[in-house]
């Protein structure tokens, strides 16, 4: 995909009429004549030239150099755009206007027919090179340029930042992957950036497994910012996926989540699961729940994380001990087994990844502790099946009985683009409370019937995804089209919105 196509995809998702790119300014959408600057760094000359190169041929570039202006046409995902280019170098400005948008208001319905219709032919990509095994050297120096780039991306609202050897960096803004800069970064630069976080054990794990999770902190003469990082090998060398961690632990209110989720921390013991796809904010919601406990009750909380993300304030009502896999404990399962001897009230497990971790979590929940954890799955029924299916067939019957007795609730979370502006996202949640009827369905292998129990369980505190989406739409926080896109039952959502 061309770099310009990523921005045009964002433009389409926001129902914009035009995309404007100018050196020194952030990319800007236009909708109904109103400018909507994207939460991205200002474009430098090099990146704007990259966009220009994707839009024009060499002959048209020569024409632009002679006349100082150019009109052409571009097509992306079946949508045509009128391309208006003015200036050069530091004064370069590119406007891509969706064909048919605002023609009546401008009285220019016939203008498009006078422009040359041209869709730039895409060259086939060159064959991919052979996989490269990149050994890490011992003591590289962290590059200031990358720190500045990442800090700028964070300030512009990036939820994820991707650095990859041999290509320009990208950021995820509002759920859409967009270019971050035009300069490519080498293995040496990526290696230097992560060097300070690579302990001997992390380095050995990377060499052995080809990837490693790391906690990173950067400052760049500003307030320090923490990032969750994954360094991995790929066909062309090294790559680094970064997720900024908010500078303070958010509250449920900060996240726009309903306060009734806080009740999940009031169980004296048992298992509470937060479910959802990767990047849906499960870890952040889990942190908000622990913050609520820390500020309101005296509890001993042990967290087992890979890596540690949020740092909780000490001196509040609770005592919180945070342990990192690979630093303080060898694995999630080992940390859980050790926690049983450390007198916790609440144990937070960053992720239930494997049989040993899940088995230890069930044991902890059975022995008088409240266990909070996450699972990568789409709903409560899938979470239950995943927990059970990880065990050998001869153990699954017993595990099903065990899970039915310890599971207290399962919350599924999804993120949607916000109505209020470009780049923001809003969470919708589904909450299942394990009632005696639901526990019986888990024991009897009838989890496919859980959806109906959630629909009729409002009196027990349950919330369907469609009810949560309808509330967001009525509050003006999410567009109906985006809500329908993630709803499991679009007809039920429409009925709720009509009611």
Question: 196-209 pLDDT, tens per residue?
Answer: 888 888 888 899 99
Alpha-carbon distance 407 to 272, whole Å?
6
Beta bridge partners of 98: 81
Q: Give the tens place of pLDDT for each residue, 275-320.
A: 998 888 999 999 999 999 999 999 999 999 988 888 898 878 899 9
CB count in 10 Å sphere of residue 338: 16
Helix (H, G, I), strand (E, B) or coil at 330: coil
| Percent of residues, the chain, with pLDDT higher than 90 | 51
Q: Looking at the predicted structure, is the pLDDT value of residue 68 above 80?
A: yes
For the chain, list the domains and their CATH numbers: 3-114 (3.30.450.90), 144-245 (3.30.450.90), 259-463 (3.40.50.300)
Beta bridge partners of 211: 232
Beta bridge partners of 372: 272, 348
28-31 and 160-164 beta bridge pairing? unpaired
Alpha-carbon distance 282 to 279, whole Å?
8
- Phi and psi at 119, nearest 5°, equal -115, 115
Q: What is the DSSP letter of 124?
A: P
Helix (H, G, I), strand (E, B) or coil at 329: strand
Tokens of 397: 């019957």
Output the DSSP codes for 386-429. HHHHTS-HHHHHHHHHHHHHHEEEEEEEEEEE-SSSTT-EEEEE
237-245 and 225-234 beta bridge pairing? antiparallel
Q: Which of 259, 281, 217 is nearest to 414 (CA)?
A: 281
- The pLDDT, as a whole number, for residue 354 is 93
Alpha-carbon distance 357 to 375, whole Å?
12
Q: Looking at the predicted structure, is the pLDDT value of residue 103 above 50?
A: no
Residue in the block written with tokens 């042990």: 302
Task: Measure Cα distances from 319 to 151, 269, 342, 370 in Å.
Answer: 32, 18, 12, 15
Helix axes 490-498, 465-474, angle to 10 degrees: 40
Alpha-carbon distance 287 to 252, whole Å?
9
Alpha-carbon distance 395 to 444, whole Å?
15
Helix (H, G, I), strand (E, B) or coil at 374: strand
The larger pLDDT score, comparing residue 4 to residue 402, is at 402
Tell me the pTM.
0.68
Q: Looking at the predicted structure, is the pLDDT value of residue 13 above 60?
A: yes
Q: Which of 237, 236, 232 is nearest to 208 (CA)?
A: 232
pLDDT band at 370 (very low <50, low <70, confident <90, very high): very high
Alpha-carbon distance 438 to 448, whole Å?
11
| Helix spans in 137-199 (H) | 144-155, 187-194
The vertex-424 CA angle with 42 and 143, nearest 5°, equals 45
- The pLDDT, as a whole number, for residue 375 is 94
Contact assessment for residue 324 and residue 305, using Cβ atoms and an 8 Å cutoff: yes
Q: What is the DSSP letter of 155?
A: H
The larger pLDDT score, comparing residue 135 to residue 476, is at 476
- The pLDDT, as a whole number, for residue 222 is 58
449-456, Cβ contacts within 8 angstroms, sequence gap of 24 or more:
450/380, 450/381, 450/384, 451/379, 451/381, 451/488, 454/380, 454/430
Q: What is the distance, to the nearest Å, from the Cα of residue 214 to the centroid of all Cα atoms in its chain?
A: 17
- The pLDDT, as a whole number, for residue 410 is 97
| Helix spans in 14-140 (H) | 45-55, 58-67, 103-106, 111-114
Q: Looking at the predicted structure, is the pLDDT value of residue 340 above 80?
A: yes
Residue in the block written with tokens 């009729």: 456
């Amino acid at each position: 995909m061309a770099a310009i196509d990523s921005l045009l995809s964002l433009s389409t998702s926001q129902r914009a009429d035009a995309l404007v790119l100018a050196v020194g300014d952030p990319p800007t959408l236009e909708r109904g004549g109103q400018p909507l600057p994207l939460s991205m760094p200002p474009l430098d000359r090099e990146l704007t030239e990259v966009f220009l190169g994707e839009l024009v041929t060499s002959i048209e570039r020569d024409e632009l150099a002679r006349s100082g202006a150019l009109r052409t046409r571009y097509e992306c995902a079946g949508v045509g755009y009128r391309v208006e280019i003015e200036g050069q170098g530091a004064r370069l400005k590119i406007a891509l206007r969706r064909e048919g948008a605002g023609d009546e208001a401008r009285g220019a319905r016939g203008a498009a027919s006078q422009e040359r219709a041209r869709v730039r032919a895409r060259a086939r990509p060159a064959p991919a090179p052979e996989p490269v095994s990149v050994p890490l050297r011992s003591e590289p120096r962290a590059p200031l340029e990358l720190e500045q780039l990442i800090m700028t991306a964070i300030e512009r609202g990036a939820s994820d930042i991707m650095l990859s050897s041999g290509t320009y960096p990208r950021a995820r803004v509002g759920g859409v992957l967009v270019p971050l800069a035009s300069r490519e970064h080498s293995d040496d630069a990526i290696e230097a950036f992560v060097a300070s976080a690579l302990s001997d054990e992390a380095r050995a794990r990377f060499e052995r497994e080809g990837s490693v999770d790391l906690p990173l902190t950067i400052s760049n003469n500003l307030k320090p910012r923490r990032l969750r990082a994954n360094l991995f090998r790929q066909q062309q060398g090294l790559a680094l996926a970064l997720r900024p961690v908010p500078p303070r632990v958010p509250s449920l209110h900060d996240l726009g989540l309903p306060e009734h989720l806080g009740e999940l921390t009031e169980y004296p013991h048992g298992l509470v699961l937060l479910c959802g796809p990767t990047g849906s904010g499960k870890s952040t919601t889990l942190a908000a729940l622990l913050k609520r406990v820390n500020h309101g009750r005296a509890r001993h909380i042990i967290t087992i994380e890979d890596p540690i993300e949020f740092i909780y304030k000490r001196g509040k009502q609770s005592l919180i001990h945070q342990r990192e896999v690979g630093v303080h404990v060898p694995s999630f399962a080992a940390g859980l087994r050790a926690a049983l001897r450390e007198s916790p009230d609440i144990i937070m497990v960053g992720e239930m990844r494997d049989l040993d971790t899940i088995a230890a979590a069930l044991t902890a929940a059975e022995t008088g502790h409240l266990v909070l954890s996450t699972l990568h799955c789409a709903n409560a029924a899938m979470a239950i099946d995943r927990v059970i299916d990880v065990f050998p067939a001869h153990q699954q019957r017993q595990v099903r009985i065990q899970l039915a007795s310890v599971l207290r609730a399962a919350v599924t979370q999804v993120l949607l683009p916000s109505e209020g502006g470009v780049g923001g996202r809003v969470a919708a949640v589904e909450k299942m409370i394990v009632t005696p009827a639901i526990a019986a369905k888990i024991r009897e292998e009838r989890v496919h019937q859980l959806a109906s129990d959630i629909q009729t369980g409002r009196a027990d505190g349950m919330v369907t995804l469609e009810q949560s989406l309808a509330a967001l739409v009525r509050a003006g926080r999410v567009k109906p089209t985006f809500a329908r896109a993630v709803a499991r039952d679009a007809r039920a959502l429409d009925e709720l919105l009509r009611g």
